[in-house]
A and B are shown apart, each in its own frame.
Chain A
Amino acid sequence: MRFNSFDYFFFFVIVVGLFFAIPQRFRRPWLLAASLLFYMYWSPVFILLILYSTTIDYFVAKRLERTEGTRARRGLLALSYVTNFGALFLFKYYDFFMASWAGVAHAIGLPAQPPLLHLILPVGISFYTFEAISYTTDVYRRSYPAERNYPRLLLFIVFFPKLIAGPIERAWHLIPQFERETRFDYARVREGLAKILWGLFKKIVIADRLALYVDAVYNHAGRHVGSTLLLATLFFAFQIYCDFSAYSDIAIGTSQVMGFDLLRNFRRPYFATSIADFWGRWHISLSTWFRDYVYIPLGGNRHGFWKTNQNIFTVFLVSGIWHGANWTFVLWGIWHGAFLLLQNVWNRFVPTVVPPGPAKRWLQVLGTFPIVCLSWVLFRANSLQDAGHIYRQIFTHLDPAAFYAGSLKHLAYGCFGIAVLFSVELWNETGGYRLLWRPAAKPVRWLAYAGLAVLIVMVGVFDGGQFIYFQF
C-alpha cells in the first residue's frame, strides 16, 4: 500500500477515524491489527518472519534482563543478532555475496557455481531489522528495560507509518508513547495533516515528475552525453531527496495525527556545509543508528585521529552495504567515507583562511553539494559499467548540442518543483517560520494547503512508482 495511493488514503481515514472513535484500551490493539494488515497487504507470508524475529527478541530481552554473567549475556545478544541479521543476510545479501564470490573465483580461474536462492526481498526488512537490533542491544546495555508486553513490542516493530521505510525508531523513543493515553488534539492533527500534504507534494509533484526524465536517461545511459547525464544526476539528487523525505514526512505526519512522535529523518540536507554535516541532515535516524551501534562500539573517537577515521570509514562502508546488495551501493558508501576522511584530514592539517560568516557558509554549501550530487550517480546507475560511463561522459563530453531534453513539459514541471522546494527550504534554513505547520495566519495556511492540493492535481504524476527506499 503506497502512501501516494487511494488505498492508503482510505486505510488512513478508517484507521485514524476508528482510532479516535474507540475507547483508549482498544486503541493499541487496533493499531497493532491495522499495522499487521498494512504489512500483509504486500505479502501476507512475510509477516511470519516479523513475528518469528520479534518473538525471539522478546524472550531474549527478558532473559537478558535477568541474566548477570557476561558470557551468557553475550550469547543471548548473539542469538538476537543471528536471528535478525541472519534473515536480512539470507533475503538481501546471500545471492549478492555468492555471485560476487563466483565472479572472483572465475576471474582467478577457479570453477565456482554457487547455488543462488533468488528470494523475494520482504519489504522493510532492513528497517525493522535495525529497530529490533537496537532494542535488544539497548536491553543488553541496560539502557532500556525489556518490554514485558509482547503486543506492545510487536507494535513497536510493525507500527505501520514507519514500518516500510523508517524513520528507524528506537524502543526508548516509541514504546513509552504507546503507554500514554492519546487524545484528539486539533493543533497536532492539523500539523500532521499538513506534513502529509507537503510529503505528497514532494513525492507526486517533484520526485515522480523528475523520475520521468531521470529514468529515461539513466535506463539508457550509454546513449547520452555528459550534459544530459549531468542534468539527470542533478534531477536525481532532488528526486531521491523528495521521494525519501516525502515518505518520512507522511510517516511522521500520520503518526502525529494519532498522537505519536517519530524521530526526525531530514533537515534540509542540501544546505549541508560538509559531508559530516550532510549526514547529520540526511536519513538522520540511520546515521544515529550507525553512530550508536557501530561507530561507538568500534571505539568512536576515543582512540586518536587515525583510528577515528578508520571507524568512520567502516561505518560508511557498512552503510553502503545496508542500502543495497550491489557494488554500486558499496562504492557509494566508500565515496562518502572517503570524502569525510578527506575533509577531516583537511580540517586538521590545513589552516582556515576564510573567516567564519555567511560567505564562508555558502561557499561550503556550494562545495559540498556537487560531491553529494555526483555520489548519486553510483546510487542510481543500473550497473558499475553504467556508472563508469556516466562519470566519463560528465567529465569529458559536456556537448550541449547533443543534449537530450526529452519532453519539455517534464523539464519545466521538474524545474518548477525544484524551485518550490528550494524556496521553502531556503525560507526554513534561514530561520523563517514554517509556512505550513507553524501557527501562521489562517488565510496564509489555507492558501498554502489549497495551493499544494491544486498543484498536486494539476502537475502531479498519478501513475508514479513506488518509493525508492522500499527496495531497501
Chain B
Amino acid sequence: MRRFLASLLALGALLFVLDRAIGSGMAALFRSSASEEDGDTFGRAFRAQPGIVICGSSRAMHHYVADSLGAALGIRVYNLGRDGSWGALYEYGAASMVLRHGKPRLWIMEADRDLYSGKERLDYLSCFLPYAEDEPAAAEVAILRSRWERIRMLSRIYPYNAMLVSLLAPRLGKIVHPRDGYLELTGVMSADTSAAGVAPSTPPDFSVDSLKIKYLRRTVALLKERGVRVVAVRSPTFLAGEAVRAQDRRKGEDVARVLGDLTVKYFDFNVLDHPEFAAESLYFDAEHLNGTGALRFTRALEDSIQFYLAQTTR
C-alpha cells in the first residue's frame, strides 16, 4: 500500500509539473495566436477600445461587417460574435469584461428567442475560461458550466481545452483573418438546404429560461448603469415559404415584447418585412448570410443605428 501511495504521489507531482509547463505554453500561444475561433478575441477587443460592440452567436460574427459599419458611423466597431454563443450568459460575461477595460457608446445584441428562451447551452461558456484568472466576470460565468468547474479550473491546461489545433492554424496559414471580429462566409447554400429553410431545426419549445432571462436583465442593467446604450437586432434568416416567414415574424414579436420590458430598442430584419433579404444568393446556409448578404445587411443596419444614435444623443 505504501509503495502504491508513493507511486501515486510521484505521478501526481509529474502531472502537476506537466500541467503547469504545458498550460503556460498554451497561454502564450493563446495570447499570440491570430485565431478567431479560439484565440484571444476579448483581448483584441479590449485593445481596440471600440465605440460600438456587437455581441452574439455565429450569426453576429458572420452578419455584422464591423469595419464597414465603423466607417459609415465614424466610430470604431468590434464584433464579439462567437460560434454557438447565443444565450444571455455570453452577453453578460462579454459586457462585464468589456466594461472593465473601456466604455463603448453602443452595445448591439444579435437577438432571437434563443437569447432568453430554450435550455441554455453552457458548454460554449468555455471561451471565458482563459480569462477566468484575471477577470472576475469571466470566472463567474465560466463556473456555471458545471458544479465541478472550479475543480477543473485548477488545471492550467484545462482553460485551453481543445484549442491547440485552432491556435496553431493561423501559423500554418489555414485561417481567414477576421476584420475586427467579423468573419466573412463565402459561397452560396446548396439547393437542398434552401429547400428546407431553417424550419426543421426550429426548437418547438420556447418557454422562457429563468437563468437566461436573469442574465439578460443583468446585462442590460449593467450596460445602462454605465451609460452604454443597448440595441437588439435580429438579423435575417433564410426561410422557405410564406407560412414559415409569418411564423418567424411572430417569433420576432415575442422577442420585441421581452426586450420592450427591458426598454431595449429592437430592430427586426425578418424576411417578411425585409424582402430584400429573401434571395438565397445572400446566404451561406439557412441561418447565415454570406459576405454579400452580410454587407447588404450591415448597410441596412447603418441607417437604423445612425438614426437611433442621433435620436438618443439629442
Nearest neighbor of B286 in chain A, beta-carbon distance:
A223
Nearest neighbor of B124 in chain A, beta-carbon distance:
A463
Which residues from chain A contact B19 at a C-beta distance below 8 Å?
Answer: 454, 457
Chain A, residues 447-469, CB within 8 Å of chain B (1/0): the string is: 00110011001111111000000
- Give bound CA distance, A129 to B174, whole Å: 53
Chain A, residues 404-447, CB within 8 Å of chain B (1/0): the string is: 00011100110000000000000000000000000000000010
Q: Does A118 contact B (CB under 8 A)?
A: no
Q: Does B243 contact A (CB under 8 A)?
A: no
Which of under 10, 10 to 19, 20 to 34, or 35 or more describes the interface residues of B?
A: 35 or more
The contact of B22 among A186, A458, A462, by CB within 8 Å, is A458
Q: Are B37 and A409 in contact (CB under 8 A)?
A: yes
> Interface-forming stretch among B150-158, B247-255, B297-305?
B150-158
Of B18, B162, B174, most A-chain CB atoms within 10 Å: B162
- Give bound CA distance, A209 to B264, whole Å: 39
Q: Are A453 and B15 in contact (CB under 8 A)?
A: yes
- Give bound CA distance, A189 to B158, whole Å: 27
> Interface-forming stretch among B70-78, B88-96, B190-198?
B190-198
The number of residues on chain A lying at the interface, defined by a beta carbon within 8 Å of a beta carbon of chain B, is: 30
- Give bound CA distance, A457 to B162, whole Å: 9
Min distance, Cβ A435 to any Cβ of chain B, angstroms: 16
Q: Does A190 contact B (CB under 8 A)?
A: yes
Min distance, Cβ A254 to any Cβ of chain B, angstroms: 16
- Give bound CA distance, A453 to B14, whole Å: 11
- Give bound CA distance, A460 to B200, whole Å: 30
Which residues from chain B contact A402 at a C-beta distance below 8 Å?
Answer: 190, 192
The contact of A184 among B1, B7, B201, by CB within 8 Å, is B1
Q: Are B151 and A6 in contact (CB under 8 A)?
A: yes
Which residues from chain A contact B155 at a C-beta distance below 8 Å?
Answer: 457
Q: Are B122 and A463 in contact (CB under 8 A)?
A: yes
Q: Does A180 contact B (CB under 8 A)?
A: no
Q: Are B200 and A186 in contact (CB under 8 A)?
A: no
Which residues from chain B contact A20 at a C-beta distance below 8 Å?
Answer: 1
Which residues from chain A contact B83 at a C-beta distance below 8 Å?
Answer: 407
Chain B, residues 2-14, CB within 8 Å of chain A (1/0): the string is: 0110010001001
Q: Does B165 contact A (CB under 8 A)?
A: yes
- Give bound CA distance, A413 to B169, whole Å: 13
- Give bound CA distance, A408 to B83, whole Å: 13
Nearest neighbor of A453 in chain B, beta-carbon distance:
B15
Q: Are A463 and B146 in contact (CB under 8 A)?
A: yes
Which residues from chain A contact B123 at a C-beta distance below 8 Å?
Answer: 463
Q: Are A450 and B196 in contact (CB under 8 A)?
A: no
With A189-B4, A459-B162: A446-B157 Cβ-Cβ less than 8 Å: no
Residues of B within 8 A of A (CB): 1, 3-4, 7, 11, 14-15, 18-19, 22, 37-38, 83, 122-123, 145-146, 148, 151-152, 155, 157-158, 160-166, 169, 174, 190, 192-193, 196, 200-201
Query: Apart from A409-B163, A457-B19, A457-B155, what are 4 other A-B pairs with CB-CB below 8 Å?
Result: A6-B148, A409-B38, A462-B161, A463-B146
Residues of A within 8 A of B (CB): 5-6, 20, 184, 186, 189-190, 209, 220, 222-223, 225, 402, 407-409, 412-413, 446, 449-450, 453-454, 457-463
6 contacts between A and B (CB under 8 A): A222-B196, A402-B192, A408-B174, A409-B165, A449-B11, A450-B18
